[in-house]
Amino acid sequence: MDNKFFVSSSPHIAKKEDVSIVMWTVNLALAPAGIIGIYIFGLHSLLLVAASTIAAVLTEAFMQNARRQKVTVSDGSAFMTGLLLAYNLPPNCPLWIGVIGSFFAIAIAKQAFGGLGRNIFNPALASRAFLLAAWPKHMTVFAKPFAYGVDAVTQATPLSLLKEGKASGLVDMGLSYWDLFIGNRGGSLGEVCILALLLGGLYLLYKRIITWHTPLSFILTVGIFTWAFGSKQGFFQGDFLFHILSGGLMLGAIFMATDYVTSPITKNGQVIFGVCCGLLTGIIRIWGGYPEGVCYSILIMNSVVPLIDRFVKPRRYGIVKVREEGKS
Amino acid sequence: MVKLEEHKHLTENKPIEKAELPSKVFIPLLQHLGKPLDLIKVKAGDDVKRGTLLATSDKGLFAPVHASISGKVTTIADYPHPVSGFARAIAIEGDGKDEACPDMAPRSEEEAAALTADALKKIIFEAGIVGLGGATFPTHIKLSPSKPIEDFILNGAECEPYLTCDYRLMVERADEIIKGMKLVTNILKPRSCYIAIEDNKPEAIKLMQERARMFNWEVVVLATAYPQGGEKQVIKSCIGTEVPSGKLPFDIGVVVHNVATVYAIYEAVYLKKPLYERAVTVSGSCLANPKNLLARIGTPVKDLIGQCGPLVKEPKKIIMGGPMMGIAQYTMDGPVIKGTSGIILLDEIQEREQEETFCVRCGECVQNCPMGLNPGLIALAISKDKLELAEEYGIMDCIECGLCAYLCPSRRNIVQAIKAAKLRIRDAKK
């Protein structure tokens, strides 16, 4: 036996899960929502998912090459950004929207800030905000569920019907809670099926990749806020279940507000983050100019994360409690 | 704190076995926390017996060292050292007779019970006992607190993966450990005593509970998690009090000793036996027969590995101590020293050695740091060369357990950076 051994400072063992295992697990957890989305909205949405993810991966490779860095597209983070962006797009929007969106997400929102771990804003959401400002027409026309192949058949989302005053509740829309739960409504590609999103969320909880702190505090706050202020008839008469099940709340709370890079590092910080996201979402939905506020509330809170991390810290051992002299 | 993969099943049911008598031993002059011993009592050519005093000192922190076999001193020269890489050691060529020093005669119960605290401390000092958990702090100093002691804690947590030598000691030498603990309480006279054991050692818990009852000592069962056995963590688990930042357990009237140390105290007092051998776990997936060996101090590591072979896989890394805090060895020639609790052979170079990537802020290191620090942030401050900022973030409180680097999905060398920076900060303050 040769007498050559590897020498390094301890620890000498490491947990198996590295960044790429974490990222691909999240991608897997996202799969059910996408598959159901494609089933509901048809072939075009499959092409949109493919275009967005391919564009995201290619942009990441190109940018890392240009920045003379190691190309790390196999870690699954660029794929995830492309996937999340596609899930946030209307299923019938042109493919080039997905391609440009992914380019913006990776090149501007992620790599321009220094790449994975350095970005301030969730890349997919930053890109969605950009697309909404740049091509509002393409971003606000939603396909009708199960109207395969017919480009012209569109349907407003439940939240925009509510915002525009065209309906005051589920009954006016001809929908039930069950329709909202399984995804039988107009909306973004990956946000409609709450059941699939919850399955993915439970899987991530089981895998300990996310904890309940952010999603639960976010969703609960939206529920309480819309219950309190969501009705014109008076306080605490709002249809909170409708608000929880519609829009991008589930997708945002489970998969985007929990993004490691752009959320607080401590559990207490994550609860504050979730509650504030929920408040902002409720305010935008009820009093704001847009029908939906999940995207903007997460983006706004992303910018507050350094502040939260500065003030919400873990309790240090040996700093607070001191045994007094002479205590028996 | 985190539950790690334990790998203790490899050796936990293997009774402590006497290692073969080494033909040659190398006794380093530095086996304690402090400076190397400077008063060498032997010279090349001298005959020594097992237990003969080899070297001591007269100033500072130190513990004397003794011959672990009988034979002839061949050289006093630099030799591979498991901690410092290379250091002065006394080499003894064995004569195969293993003759004991004549003054090693057992004491009776009555004699032992009649010893005063000062006499006991002198015996412990002369036996060269240091903290055998790995810190190697001279034990007689730890038994001479400047303030009255309220709590004494026997630490049998043994939270490092692979290591089982403390567990075997508790199972096989329970009575001796209890006697040793009684001696410690005779010195410290604490108000309460605790025995802390992780719940993955039910056998040891049962044996200790049976024996601790008559003294009214409390066996505290800790949840198995790393680093539950860290001194500060054990104190918090047992008495619910934290050691204030920058202070020592002494300062809050607490003393903690490892079970192997207390067993060595028993041997020194009852058997008049200096610390020349200790239980060592030799383990890892490379070995066909991992074992708990009672090894003489100074035995080359390769001798012990040879007794646990044959090698079924090529070892890539040899660690003295546990895999979380132990020291990687560059050679198999280094000797067993007083602080050697284990020799672990790892067959795959862990992914740890892969390239670091950016922190993705997953928060694992923050949520699991046993000291409540933000290790990632401290490492970031170090990488920007802002040591004052690192100090503000509490770098000096770090107990170097290594959990942050173990958990990091970006494979960042967090604790490694912290350890290096702590040395720089200490040097700057000198």
Give the ipTM of the model, two decimals please.
0.89
Q: Using alpha carbons, select from B150, B341, B324 the residue that is nearest to residue B263.
A: B341
What does the alpha-carbon distance between residue B279 and residue B163 come to, in Å, rounded to a whole number?
Answer: 11
Q: Do B402 and A10 touch (CB under 8 A)?
A: yes
**DSSP of B253-320, one letter per residue?**
TEEEEEHHHHHHHHHHHHS---S-EEEEEEE-TTBSS-EEEEEETT-BHHHHHHHT--BSS--SEEEE
Q: How far is A139 from chain B (nearest CA, A)?
A: 30
Does A11 reach chain B within 8 Å, measured CB to CB? yes
- Cβ-Cβ contacts under 8 Å between A and B: the total is 171
Domains of chain B with CATH codes:
20-94 (2.40.50.100), 109-270 (3.40.50.11540), 278-352 (3.10.20.600), 353-429 (no CATH)
pLDDT band at B179 (very low <50, low <70, confident <90, very high): very high
Q: Which two tokens stand for residue A90?
A: 């209307």
In a domain, residue A193? The reply is yes
Whether residue A197 lies inside any domain: the answer is: yes
Q: Give the pLDDT band of residue A326 (cuts 50, 70, 90).
A: very low
B406: exposed, middle or buried (C-beta count within 10 Å: 0-12, 13-18, 19+)?
A: buried
By the CB < 8 Å criterion, does A233 face chain B? Answer: no
Cβ contact (<8 Å) for A72 and B363? no
pLDDT the model gives residue A164? 84
* Cα angle B238-B393-A119, degrees, rounded to a multiple of 5: 120
- Nearest CA distance, A81 vs chain B (angstrom): 15
pLDDT of amino acid B135: 85
Measured between CA atoms, the residue of chain B closest to residue A322 is B244
For all residues of chain B together, what is the average pLDDT? 93
Q: How far apart are CA B408 and CA A205, in angstroms?
A: 19
Question: What is the average pLDDT score of chain A?
Answer: 91
Distance from CA of A53 to the nearest CA of B (A): 21
**To 5 degrees, how large is the angle CA A137–CA A141–CA A145?**
165
**Binary contact (B242, A22; C-beta < 8 A):** no
Alpha helices for chain A (secondary structure H): 19-41, 43-66, 77-87, 95-103, 123-134, 136-139, 158-163, 170-173, 177-182, 194-206, 213-229, 240-245, 249-251, 267-287, 294-311
pLDDT given for residue A328 in this prediction = 39
Among B344, B361, B411, beta carbon nearest to A265 = B361
Chain A from 67 to 106: CB within 8 A of any B CB: 70, 72, 75
What does the pLDDT average to over A303-322?
A: 87
Sort strands B85-94 and B71-81 into parallel, antiparallel or unpaired: antiparallel
User: Which is nearest to A222 in space by CA: A172, A186, A275?
Assistant: A275
Within-domain flag for A290: yes
Q: Which residues in A lie closer than 8 A to residue B331 (C-beta atoms)?
A: 3, 5
| Dist. CA A222–CA A236, nearest whole Å | 13
pLDDT tier at A3, thresholds 50, 70, 90: low
Partners of residue A266 in chain B, C-beta under 8 Å? 363, 366-367
Q: Pick A12's closest partner by Cβ from B245, B319, B371.
A: B319
What is the CATH number for A44? 1.10.3430
Q: What is the DSSP letter of B353?
A: G
Domain-located, residue A188: yes
Which of B321, B349, B366 comes nearest A6 by C-beta? B349
Taking residues A39-58, what's their average pLDDT? Answer: 95
pLDDT of residue B353: 55
Which pLDDT belongs to residue A152? 60
Evaluate whether residue A316 is within a structural domain: no
Residue B88's region, left for phi above 0, alpha for psi from -120 to 50, else beta, is beta
Does residue A5 lie within any of the structural domains?
no
Nearest CA in chain B to A117: B360
Q: Find the domain containing A31 and state its range.
A: 19-311
**Per residue, what are the HEC states of B291-304?**
EEEEEECCCEHHHH
| B63-79 pLDDT tens trace | 999 999 999 999 999 99
Residue B327: list chain A partners with CB under 8 A.
10
Position A284 in a domain: yes
- For residue B323, give the nearest of A13, A70, A263 by CB distance: A13
Q: Is B335 helix (H, G, I), strand (E, B) or coil?
A: strand
Tally of structural domains, chain A = 1
A273 belongs to a structural domain: yes
Q: How far is B49 from chain A (nearest CA, A)?
A: 32
